[in-house]
Chains A and B, each alone.
Chain A
Amino acid sequence: MKFPSHLPCSAVLDSLADGVFTVDRDWNVTFFNEAASRITGIPGEEAIGSKCWDVFHSSLCDGNCALRSCMEQSGRISNKTIFFIRSDGKKIPISISAAPLVDSNGKLIGGVESFRDMTDIQIMRRKVEESWRFEDIVGKSKALGKVFSILPQVSKSEATVLLLGESGTGKELFAKAIHNLSERSKGPFVAVNCGALPDNLLESELFGYKAGAFTDARKDKPGRFELAAGGTIFLDEIGDMPAKLQVKLLRVLQEKTYEPLGSVTSVKADVRVIAATNKNLEELVSEGSFRQDLYYRLNVVTLNLPPLRDRREDIPLLVNHFTTRLNSLQGKDISGLSEDALQIIMRHDLPGNVRELENILEFSFILCPSGFIQVEHLPEYLQPESSSGSDDSDLPMTLEEIKCRAIKKALARNNGKRMATCRELGITKDTLRRSIARCGLSGE
């Protein structure tokens, strides 16, 4: 269909909401529509005749020009997201499409690029991402959603909180979030690892001492409870707290007072206590290594932090979160995980939880120069077994053997759990049951 002859082409282009500009083969701007002027803030008369990189100053202009690759390879580029710097110093995200321009004889005469301001879409995306996060905790899973929903009320109260969860689930992060959302947020947040200090040191570390309390005590030393006055004290690995100190802590929780070592007077404890452990405190109580009365005092509000294997849908969000953080920390431009690498991580059990995921990404950032993190950039223990090893996948197999092998491996990855295996393989419970019987395998 021919373009109507009576209709000026520039009028059509000027009516578009997207910015459009054309260049000749020497990269001089030959056309700059009204939307282009509006988005870039550059008047058309100043843009026309200038080199396109001096007008557009985008992230691609120095070396990765989209128009150049279109013109050289006679191809097109659609919806590539980049940014340009507006002359007021703001980085504006845009989506570009580019194509070569040819005359009626098919001769290349330049290129055309259109661009769309993505600022609003990016703001919306950021808002959505924010709804998936709570302070520094990222996730949209149901398991985490339950915790998120009660966190604001828990934070506002003065209640003692007990955080239960495996190592690496982010207990300190939750403790900080509770502190930041509480009335005590302007006060200090002091964290103590009760399992990291010898028993005799832990007492003086927590409660401080008075000069003369023991041989080396020449002057008063404030304890962590005093340092946390007006704020929150986070007692990590509370399950490792020695019995003698459990009594003292119980008194702090009951009477809100404590006595520094060597002191004859009590000090008021103006702190909120958040405790955490990866141990089963109830079991410790029944074994007699943890005081029952202290357990009940600590157990006013208990938050169970789900392990990452129970909220796998959060893994892509967390990957995104850590990638952004590591990019800004290391000045890199990694786009994220490739699909293959993400698949491997999604299937991995992640016994170290969020901390392990963070470590995997930190490791991969070292090996990956730019672009997407590929499988070969992952730590060795996540690399798929090579065909030269015990894996005999290169040997000829029947389709039935391949199916059995896939089911066996998936069952092993999911610790024999049938439902998880079904989800991973995308098959029904009945199909899995029949396959297990046929292949002579066993499932949980």
Chain B
Amino acid sequence: MLLCLACYNDRLASVFDNATEFKIFRIEENNICPAGHLSLPSKDPKDRTSAILACGATTLICGALCGCTRNLIESTGVKVVPWIRGTVEEVLAAVSDNCLDSLAMPGCSKGTGQGRCRRQSGNGSGFHGHGFV
């Protein structure tokens, strides 16, 4: 399984649309290995979606994401886990430990219960309880 992180420098970009790089990781059994990166000159959400598909990633983890872009990416079958913050290392560790929800952006945490982010993430498409590994 290939995982795509929308990054700015060594952290997840605050806003997906502004990410300067996609970092790709392969998840095999208990290991997460780097599988390449793509620099992103265009800000067009369609180009970004094509880039995710072109590198074969099936899951995207990113920061803030507007509704239209999210719909566009999800319509291609890519699983989107938005509203996550942290450095690349922190995110990979959380994926490995299956606790991405601990990295939810402020206002989107588990503590908010039926908060906006959980509700809009739909049935099982949120960041809680992902069995990535």
* Chain A residues engaging chain B, CB cutoff 8 angstroms: 40-43, 46-47, 50-51, 53-59, 61-63, 84-85, 87-91, 330-333
Contacts and interface: CB of A to CB of B under 8 A. Distances in A.
B86 to A, nearest CB: 8
Give the secondary structure class of A's interface.
loop
A51 B85 contact: yes
Given A89-B67, A91-B66, A42 B107 contact: yes
A87 B18 contact: no
B104 to A, nearest CB: 10
B25 interface: no
Nearest to A333: B43
B13 A87 contact: no
Contacts of B15: 57-59, 61-62, 85
A435 B19 CA distance: 59
Nearest to A55: B106
Nearest to B84: A54
Chain B: interface size category: 20 to 34
Interface of B: 8, 13-15, 17-20, 42-47, 63-68, 70, 83, 85, 105-109, 111, 115-117, 120
B79 to A, nearest CB: 16
A42 B43 contact: no
A85 B107 contact: no
B105 A89 contact: no
Nearest to A54: B85
Contacts of B43: 331-333
B14 A87 contact: no
A87 B42 contact: no
Contacts of B17: 59
A89 B106 contact: no
28 contacts: A40-B107, A41-B116, A43-B106, A46-B107, A46-B109, A51-B85, A54-B14, A54-B63, A54-B106, A55-B105, A55-B106, A55-B107, A56-B14, A57-B14, A57-B63, A59-B17, A62-B8, A62-B19, A62-B20, A85-B64, A85-B66, A87-B108, A87-B116, A88-B67, A88-B120, A90-B67, A331-B46, A331-B47
Most buried by B among A56, A61, A85: A85
Nearest to B117: A87
Given A46-B111, A59-B15, A85-B15, 6 more contacts: A54-B14, A55-B105, A55-B106, A57-B105, A59-B18, A330-B44
A84 B15 CA distance: 9
The 9 closest A-B pairs by CB, nearest first: A331-B44, A89-B67, A42-B107, A57-B64, A61-B14, A62-B18, A46-B106, A53-B14, A62-B8
Nearest to A85: B64
Contacts of A332: 43
A333 B44 CA distance: 10
Contact of B20 (A42, A46, A59, A63): A63
Given A42-B106, A54-B106, A331-B44, A88 B116 contact: yes
A59 B19 CA distance: 10
B63 to A, nearest CB: 6
A47 to B, nearest CB: 5
A51 B111 CA distance: 19
A88 B85 CA distance: 16
Given A87-B83, A89-B65, A47 B106 contact: yes
Nearest to B71: A89
A63 B8 contact: yes
B66 A331 contact: no
